[in-house]
Amino acid sequence: MRWFSSQAWVDVPTGGVVEVPLAQTGEGIAECELLKWFVEEGDQVEEFQRLCEVQSDKATIEITSRFKGKVLQILFVPGDIVKVGETLLKILVEDTPSSLDTQSPLTSVSDFAGVDCESSSDAEEEIVGGILATPAVRHLAKQHGININDIRGTGKDGRVLKEDILNFVSSKITSQEPPSISRTIIDEDELELLNNGKTLNMNFVENQHYEDKTIPLRGYQRSMVKSMSMAAKVPHFHYLEEINCDALVDLKAAFQSGNTDQNVKHTFLPFLIKALSAALSKYPLLNSSFHEEANEVIVKGWHNIGVAMATPYGLVVPNIKKVQSLSVLEITKELSRLQLLASNNKLSSEDITGGTITLSNIGAIGGKFGSPLLNLPEVAIIAIGRIHKLPRYDDDDETIYPASVTNVTIGADHRVVDGATVARFCNEWKLLIEKPELLLLHMR
């Protein structure tokens, strides 16, 4: 998602310095994590050029420039948490903006007349105690409790770079631990391999000690720590049930055999989502949010059904909006769109917000059972296991036949939803899955 900085434009004289703050990226967002910079100090930037990428609890956003000029100072490094309104960077403006935004609050603009571009850059670098480094690098050193004078800079003219700080921290940690144990910082590429179950090539040789790995949590992973910690404090009620999917297996095969659209691949999940929506219409309390401070439950009108997705960037839960109004085919296409965006870390705030209940399809990975935690403030979440063959008795309880079954676990906020309501809701959903022809009664 691309986001334009919301700083207002005042009459900026040639040679003026403008501060570019982190704009409000969404309702209720107070801070974002800086993921990466697309520019460096000293770079020339054009209007609408990408400056940096940030991530909130809800979306990944690109901050773009509406100024043409030179980047004088970058105030944060990747991994920093930036509060809304804090200055991300300073730009020496060459031209005044072509249009004025009078609706946004003013930001500070300082005159920089009479100082040429090169000398201003050097001034922002700060030479303290003979050490050349930017304020952002000095801030990073301060965060780690490091005296920057102890670091040998590898940049131009001995400038201390961010990498110099991180390498110094790594070597310092290693030297403080026992000889048999060392720690290194794992990068994002290695983390993606770990998330996908692949083995890292550590190039171990005989008698070399195994290393601990320090993994900084970024983006959605940082958000997951916060949301799961909150969810763990809520009293959960978990309800387990087995569902016969023979009819669903046949229905999916029929859909796929008659499919002429190469861009559509039919799976079980869209039908489960549609059946879930029909069950929610009968038991709307499961489609609610609980607000503890106000001590009230808000029963949601639309069924915005979230689907938990494991991505290289962490767990994310986009949702399919207004499922009551969608066909199974439309749900299939929307699910594919969300999966593609999630895999590329391109989900918008609209895709992620507004969910009313969540499905976690652990069966896609191979699991049979799960005990999911709520996606607050929602009051229900469902884990779906993989469909597998098991011997089951026929209705006469005498004939054994191979049945396609799945196990589902419904987690509910027990402060709001009682066990009997969860059981009745699950029975309704199960009936619609086992006898999909009944779902036609709910179609509009």
Bridge partners (DSSP) listed for residue 45: 69
Domain membership of residue 138 (yes or no) is no
- Asked if omega into 284 is within 30° of 0 (cis), the reply is no
Task: Give the residues of the chain that fall short of pLDDT 70.
Answer: 1-15, 26-28, 58, 95-130, 156, 170-208, 442, 444
The domain containing residue 186 runs over which residues? 177-214
Within a domain: 140: no
* Domain identity same for 181 and 294: no
Give pLDDT, residue 146.
81
The CA distance from 183 to 171, in Å, is: 9
Residues 356 and 430 in one domain: yes
Give the count of domains, the chain.
Answer: 3
Contacts of 425 (CB under 8 A, 6+ apart): 279, 280, 282, 283, 286, 410
Among candidate residues 427, 437, 407, the one with its CA nearest the CA of residue 244: 407
Rounded Cα gap, residues 415 and 417, in angstroms:
6
Burial 90-101 (b: 16+ CB within 10 A, else e): bbbbbebbeeee
Residue 53 located in a structural domain: yes
Are residues 237 and 347 both part of a single domain? Answer: yes
- CA torsion 107-110-111-112 (nearest 10°) is -120
CATH number, residue 355:
3.30.559.10
CATH number at residue 31: 2.40.50.100
Phi and psi of 302, rounded to 5°?
Answer: -85, 150
By annotation, the residues acting in catalysis are 414, 418
210 and 102 in a common domain: no
Closest to 345 (Cα-Cα) out of 3, 48, 54: 54
Regarding whether 191 and 234 lie in a shared domain, the answer is: no
Q: Examine the domain organization and report whether 197 and 253 are in the same domain.
A: no
User: Looking at the domain assignment, is residue 377 inside a domain?
Assistant: yes
Query: Based on the domain organization, do 257 and 195 belong to the same domain?
Result: no
The pLDDT assigned to 334 comes to 95
Contact 88, 51 (CB under 8 A): yes
| Domain-ending residue, one of 214, 242, 274 | 214
* 210 and 237 housed in the same domain: no
Query: Do both 8 and 30 map to the same domain?
Result: yes
Q: Is 159 contained in some domain?
A: no
50: in domain? yes
Same domain? For 416 and 269 the reply is: yes
Q: How far is CA 181 from CA 184, 208, 395, in A?
A: 10, 10, 61
Asked if residue 331 lies in contact with residue 273, where contact means CB atoms within 8 angstroms, the answer is yes
- Please answer whether residues 121 and 42 qualify as being in contact, where contact means their C-beta atoms are separated by less than 8 angstroms: yes
Query: Based on the domain organization, do 319 and 426 belong to the same domain?
Result: yes
pLDDT of residue 114: 33
pLDDT for residue 202: 53
- Are 304 and 319 in contact by the 8 Å Cβ rule? The answer is yes
Report pLDDT for 13: 41
In a domain, residue 372? The reply is yes
Residue 131 resides in a domain: no
Say if residue 237 is in the same domain as residue 337: yes
Predicted confidence at residue 118, as pLDDT, reads 36
**CB-CB contact of 164 with 152 (8 Å):** yes
